[in-house]
Amino acid sequence: LFGGVDNGRHSNGLHTCDLSRQPRTWMRHAPSAAAAVPPARRLHTAVLCGGRMYVLGGSCHAPDEPQEGAVFSDHWSLDLASMAWREEEPPRAGGERRPSFAHSAVVSEQGAMGGASPVIAVFGGMDVQQGDAGLPAWILPAGGIAMPVHSGRLLLYSPGGKAWSLPRTGGASPLPRFRHSATLCARGTADEAMLLWGGWRYPVGFQATPLE
């Protein structure tokens, strides 16, 4: 379990629970002083693939915190054997690196589009781009004003190849959305699919509307 809000403050805390032991208790893992770790955040995704936990994006929209106003475009993985973090290739769409939060992610162990290697599928969320769209602005960690835009983009990441791709999809596409849920159905079969549910979007200005 990584990040979130702990006692009213954004956290980059890492906790584990050994389900094989009784009683089941949570343990906090403190990184060494020299170790690189992801900054505190919420509204990120975390998925398990090949013995590693992959953490993507997120935000820190709280005053009086070191990362105040940050929206992250980074990508980290945690080796669950050594409990060591490693920064991975950040998500890119057509070569462009764009911060994102409130997206969804699932893992397909059998790959996608006929591939045999595992992939991580990331959909939607709030992307951040430069510009003046009349929307509230956030500050990127590297500096500069940025604008949030809800996304309907699908990205695939290959942990083996350490590469991102923008797949071509068929049929009717889901509406752009954020704060939705996604799950993998019929795992490991020919009918395996990523199922999206609900979420929010901003059709006019910055007034959030739920999707039903």
Model confidence over 187-202: pLDDT tens digits?
888 888 999 999 988 7
Separation CA 196–CA 27 (nearest Å): 32
Quote the percentage of the chain above a pLDDT of 70: 79
pTM for the model: 0.85
Give 178: exposed, middle or buried? Use CB within 10 Å, 0-12, 13-18, 19+: buried
pLDDT at residue 135 is higher than 70: no
Report the run of H or E that residue 165 belongs to, with start and end. strand 163-165
Query: Which of 86-95, 172-181, 184-193 is modeled with the greatest confidence?
Result: 172-181
**112 neighbors 121 (Cβ within 8 angstroms):** yes
Q: Compute CA distances 181 → 40, 105, 159, 199, 211, whole Å.
A: 22, 9, 22, 7, 12
What 8-state DSSP symbol labels residue 1? Answer: -
Provide mean pLDDT across the span 6-22. Answer: 90
The region, left, alpha or beta by phi > 0 then psi within -120 to 50, assigned to residue 170 is beta
**107 neighbors 123 (Cβ within 8 angstroms):** no
Report residue 99's pLDDT band, with 50, 70 and 90 as the boundaries. confident
Q: Whose CA is closest to 120, among 175, 194, 37?
A: 194
